[in-house]
Amino acid sequence: MKLRFLTAAAALSALVLAGTAVADPIVIKFSHVVAENTPKGQMANKFRDLIAERLAGKVEVKVFPNSQLFGDNKVLEAMLLGDVQMAAPSLSKFSRYTDSLQLFDLPFLFRDMAAVDRFQQSAAGQKMLSSINKKGLVGLGYLHNGMKQLSASSPLRVPADAKNMKFRIMTSDVLAAQFEAVDATPLKKPFSEVFTLLQTKAIDGQENTWSNIYSKKFFEVQPYITESNHGLLDYMVVTSAEFWMDLPDDLKGEVKKALDEAIAFGNKVAEDKSVADKQKIIDSKRSEVISLSPAERAQWVEVMKPVWKKFEDQIGKDLIDAAYNSNN
């Protein structure tokens, strides 16, 4: 009897010891809506792999691509509830949390990605990462995808060609105003629905980057893509203030370092894909890529640029000027 008691006690203490020695790793669920073979998909996978290499047993990153876990309209709410720890929504999807990020949706604001980088790395650009702090979110860094192009069921060369067409947009009032400026109808819809909306002709067009148009096969159901480079699709990698504050300092430093490296990697993927995915679309011959003449492009700029004025009070004129000056 005494022996049986001692054996049970030994087994119990072995279990307790084992329990303390092998604590469960902290899990970071990273949710996103795009395909894995995109700048954001590649960045998230790189981050997962770097953490696995450097913090095995302490932190684990689980990536959920293609809106598997949360669609873009739900992910930030889910983050505040602790159901997901990281995401990188498009800057156009933060309007419920801050007005200032609407800046990045203004049409024809940035000439190219170098100008975007210059502005984001400036003091004003870095300050915008904390514009969502009051809502319980922490911006950890910007990530690029690229400049947006217009895809449609009929050729778009001048703004009048878009009249009365229905375009899917992200949840942004600036993007709505941009399409209203060309007398088109904007419809705010989740990314996961875009292909079906295009395929069933419930909408006539959409705006997106070469990598999203290619990886989600929009080019297979849109016969025309106008290379307009009229706007920016960029992301903010975010987490909740609660999760970030609870993360022990030594791990936080390592996590941030791995994230910065993954973002640099994702930005390089974005640069490469903006060339390679465009070429794959051209090679497919499924969609005609339309180049605008300077005179045609000037018409789009003239019609869309007044949108800036409409949002000047919400965004701040100083911020708009600072972003515009990054083109020089």
Give Cα separations from 287 to 57, 115, 155, 282 (angstroms): 48, 29, 10, 7
- CB closer to ligand SIN, 75 vs 319: 75
**Minimal distance, residue 194 CB to ligand SIN, in Å:** 7
Count of residues that interact with ligand SIN, criterion CB under 6 A: 11
The CA distances from residue 60 to 53, 63, 157, 219, 236, in Å, are 10, 10, 48, 36, 21
| 33 is a contact residue toward ligand SIN (CB under 6 A) | yes
The smaller minimum CB distance to ligand SIN, of residues 191 and 324, is found at 191
Candidate segments 9-17, 32-40, 252-260, 310-318, binder of ligand SIN by CB under 6 A: 32-40
Is residue 51 a contact partner of residue 59, using CB atoms and an 8 Å limit?
A: yes
Contact 136, 242 (CB under 8 A): yes
Alpha-carbon span 229 to 219, nearest angstrom: 16
Integer Cα distance of 113 and 57 in angstroms: 38
User: Which of 72/254 has CB closer to ligand SIN?
Assistant: 72
By CB under 6 A, residue 145 contacts ligand SIN: yes
Nearer to ligand SIN, 191 or 308 (CB): 191
Q: How far apart are CA 26 and CA 47, in angstroms?
A: 15
The type of residue at 17 is L
- What's the min distance (Å) between Cβ of 39 and ligand SIN? 8
The span from the CA of 294 to the CA of 276, in Å, is 24
Residues 189-228 that bind ligand SIN (CB under 6 A): 191, 208, 212
According to the binding rule CB under 6 A, does residue 45 interact with ligand SIN?
A: no
Identified binder of ligand SIN from the candidate list 51, 55, 61, 170, rule CB under 6 A:
170
* x/- track of binding to ligand SIN for residues 78-97 (CB under 6 A): ------------x-------
Q: Which is nearer to ligand SIN, 71 or 223 (CB)?
A: 71
Of residues 55 and 263, the one with the C-beta less far from ligand SIN: 263
What lies within 8 Å, CB to CB, of 157 at 6+ separation is: 226, 290, 292, 296
| 34 counts as binding ligand SIN under rule CB under 6 A | yes
Which residue ranges make up the site for ligand SIN (CB under 6 A)? Answer: 33-34, 40, 72, 90, 145, 170, 191, 208, 212, 233
